[in-house]
Amino acid sequence: MTEMPKENVDGNVLKELASIVGEKSATSAKHIRYAYSYDLSFVSRKNPDYVVMPESVEQVQAVMKFANQEKIPVVPYTAGTNIGGLCIPERGGILLDLKRMNKIIAIDAESHYAVIEPGVSHAQLATELYKHNLRWSWPVGPPSASVSSNAISHGIGGLSGRYGLNSEEITSMEVVLPTGELVRVGSCAIQENAWHSCLPLPRMDGLFTGWLGTSGVVTKIGVRVHPIPPVLKVFTVSADNIEDMSAYMFNLGNYEICDDLTGVSWWLAQVPIPYPYKPKPDDAPEWFSFGTTFSWTEKEKEAREEIWEMVVASEIEKGSSLKKTVYPEEALKARTELPSQIVGSTKNYTKQAGGGISWPGTFTPLKAWGPVYNDWKKILINHNLSPSVRVTNYRGVHYGMLRAMIPFNKKSPEETENARHAIVECLKVDLDHGGIPYKPPVDFAREINQRAHPGYLSLLKQVKKMLDPNDIMNPGKFGI
- Residue 1's pLDDT is 36
Mean pLDDT (whole number) for 197-216: 97
- Same domain? For 84 and 196 the reply is no
pLDDT at 195 over 80: yes
Q: For residue range 266-292, what is the model confidence (pLDDT) as tens digits?
A: 999 887 899 999 999 999 999 999 999
Is residue 162 in some structural domain? yes
Domain end among 227, 257, 276: 227
Domain end among 70, 97, 124: 97
- Residue 340's pLDDT is 64
pLDDT band at 346 (very low <50, low <70, confident <90, very high): low
- Same domain? For 31 and 115 the reply is no
Average pLDDT, the chain: 93
- Same domain? For 381 and 396 the reply is yes
- Same domain? For 254 and 139 the reply is no
Is residue 466 in some structural domain? no
pLDDT band at 139 (very low <50, low <70, confident <90, very high): confident
Is residue 473 in some structural domain? no
- Same domain? For 40 and 125 the reply is no
Q: What pTM did the predictor assign? A: 0.95
- Residue 336's pLDDT is 75
Mean pLDDT (whole number) for 326-346: 66
- Same domain? For 387 and 239 the reply is yes
Cα–Cα dist 98/231, whole Å:
37
pLDDT at 353 over 50: yes
- Give yes or no for a contact between 173 and 223, defined as CB atoms under 8 angstroms apart: no
- Same domain? For 433 and 346 the reply is yes
Tell me, what CATH number does 58's domain have?
3.30.43.10
pLDDT at 452 over 80: yes
Beta bridge partners of 95: 51, 75
Is residue 2 in some structural domain? no
Tell me, what CATH number does 138's domain have?
3.30.465.10
Domain count, the chain: 3
Is residue 455 in some structural domain? no
Is residue 474 in some structural domain? no
- Residue 347's pLDDT is 56
- Residue 348's pLDDT is 60
- Give yes or no for a contact between 114 and 108, defined as CB atoms under 8 angstroms apart: yes
- Same domain? For 151 and 212 the reply is yes
- Same domain? For 239 and 190 the reply is no
- Same domain? For 80 and 154 the reply is no
Cα dihedral sign for 342, 343, 346, 347?
positive
- Same domain? For 292 and 366 the reply is yes
Domain holding 388, by residue range, is 231-440
- Give yes or no for a contact between 39 and 87, defined as CB atoms under 8 angstroms apart: yes
Q: Which of 347, 414, 336, 318 is nearest to 1 (CA)?
A: 414
Q: For residue range 413-423, what is the model confidence (pLDDT) as tens digits?
A: 999 999 999 99
Q: For residue range 9-40, what is the model confidence (pLDDT) as tens digits?
A: 889 999 999 999 999 999 999 999 999 999 99
pLDDT band at 344 (very low <50, low <70, confident <90, very high): very low
Is residue 244 in some structural domain? yes
Is residue 34 in some structural domain? yes
Mean pLDDT (whole number) for 194-209: 97
pLDDT band at 326 (very low <50, low <70, confident <90, very high): confident
Tell me, what CATH number does 273's domain have?
3.40.462.10
> To the nearest whole percent, how much of the chain has pLDDT over 90?
87
- Same domain? For 67 and 111 the reply is no
Domain end among 207, 227, 247: 227
What DSSP designation does 23 have?
G
